[in-house]
Amino acid sequence: MCGYCHEEAALDLLTQVECTPLSPGDHFGAFEWLVYMRETPDYLGAFFHHKWSVNRRKIVEINTLDKDVAVFRALEILLHEGAKSTPYRNLIVEPAFKRAIQMACSDDVREDFDKMTAAIDISPLAVLYDSATYLDQGIGLRQSPLRPLMVASVNLMQHYISWWLKNANDRKREREELDKMAEFADWLAGNEDDASKSSVEEPVNAPPKLLDGDSQRFTVLARALYFAIQLLGKHRAGIPLLRQVAKNAPRTPDFIGHDLWLQRVAALKLYDLVGFDAFVANFADFRAIFFEYIDLLRGFSHEQKRQLHDLARRNQRDSRIGDIMRAFAADVGGAP
């Protein structure tokens, strides 16, 4: 599976749970838990359902609690509700959550962040790689001065747009993602010992793969990017950067689809800031899946769905538009 395939699977799962809420007997696999806990508006509820599911199956360690997703969602709660909020206080007493945060903020991760961002002026965001930011209620993000965080977020977003979303060196990233897929295929086949050596045939004249490649750098920076999108999404000054992220999809997405998720979150924050009419004025610039995502999380009125269906009908030359027409045809009483 590729990043786009994982994104479709994530939205299908989110839609499924929206239609039929999780019950005590529901169990997910590791990938399903990862994407559901990344995507769900109710992270706290998902966390405890995950905990109960693991306990019922008598699994000693909660291995399916992804450390990166835990830190993404922790940042979101800290920024919007604070370290002393009830949801966050309920989370930080949980051993599995603490372990995930500590793993996400290891010395190695912090060293990688410092090394990989040496040429960008984003040092105030280093606080996101310190476990005390998440586990010490006396520190918290709300104790950090806002202006340096905002300036660093703007700098990071500008860098991300030019480096990852508009990067001319996409072939190297594509090479790395193909290698990841080959390793994943070997792992599924039970060839763990050989997985690290797996690769697909190198194209002629392909650029060399770097030790600290773009994919690893994206993985390290992802939490800072998520924080930047969340922070800029609280201020109208963030609209131009959010729009640029929403309009520019990576040609070769991250294997698990974190960059496509970041793009959807940026689109959602842009929608919240500008409203329906201004957002759909740029209808042709956006991926069709944005509209399904926004409908799931915010909900479109019957009239808004009718407008989207009409816009899709007028833009049928774009192959992506059929998805919107199918998604909203039943709601507006029309046929694709």
Please list the pLDDT of the chain residue by residue as tens digits (336 residues).
Answer: 578 888 988 999 998 888 887 776 677 888 888 999 999 999 999 999 888 887 776 655 555 689 999 999 999 999 999 888 999 999 999 999 999 999 999 999 999 999 999 999 999 999 999 999 999 876 667 667 889 999 999 999 999 999 999 864 554 554 554 455 455 444 444 454 444 443 434 333 333 333 347 899 999 999 999 999 999 999 999 999 999 999 999 878 888 999 999 999 999 999 999 999 999 999 988 998 999 999 999 999 999 999 998 888 877 655 555 566 666 655 666 544
Measured distance CA(3)–CA(218) in Å, rounded: 14
Residues in Cβ contact with 25 at an 8 Å cutoff, skipping those fewer than 6 apart: none
Q: How far apart are CA 265 and CA 151, in angstroms?
A: 20
Return the pLDDT at 58: 63
Strand, helix or coil at 195?
helix
Does the pTM of the predicted model rise above 0.85? no
H helical segments located in 57-207: 67-80, 86-92, 95-104, 107-116, 131-135, 146-160, 170-188, 192-195
